[in-house]
Amino acid sequence: MGLLSFLRKLKLKEREMRILLIGLDGAGKTTIMKKLKKEDTSKVSPTRGFKIETFMFDKIKMNIWDIGGQSFIRPYWRNYFEKTEGIIWVIDSTDPSRFFEGITELSKVLKAEKLAGASLLLLANKQDIHGAMTSEQIIKEMNLTEIVKGRSWHIEATSAMTGEGISEGFAWIARDVCSRIYTFT
Q: Are 31 and 37 in contact (CB under 8 A)?
A: no
Select the more confidently predicted residue: 147 or 48: 147
Q: What is the pLDDT of residues 135-180, one digit of tens each?
A: 999 999 999 999 998 899 999 999 999 999 999 999 999 999 988 8
Q: Which of 14-23, 44-53, 156-165 has the highest mean pLDDT?
A: 156-165
Q: How many CA atoms lie within 13 A of 141 on its CB side?
A: 19
Ordered by where they begin, the domains of the chain are: 27-181 (3.40.50.300)
What average pLDDT does the chain have?
Answer: 89
Q: Is the pLDDT of residue 121 over 90?
A: yes
Q: Are 9 and 137 in contact (CB under 8 A)?
A: no
Q: Which of 70, 107, 143, 162 is catalytic?
A: 70
Residues 124, 106, 97, 154, Cα dihedral to 10°: -20
| pLDDT attached to residue 103 | 94
Confirm whether 70 is a catalytic residue: yes
The pTM (predicted TM-score) of the whole model is: 0.89
H helix intervals, the chain: 3-14, 29-36, 99-110, 135-141, 144-147, 166-181
Mean pLDDT of the region 14-25: 91
Instruction: Kindly report the number of other CB atoms within 10 A of residue 77's CB atom.
Output: 19
| pLDDT attached to residue 184 | 43
Q: Is the pLDDT of residue 107 over 60?
A: yes
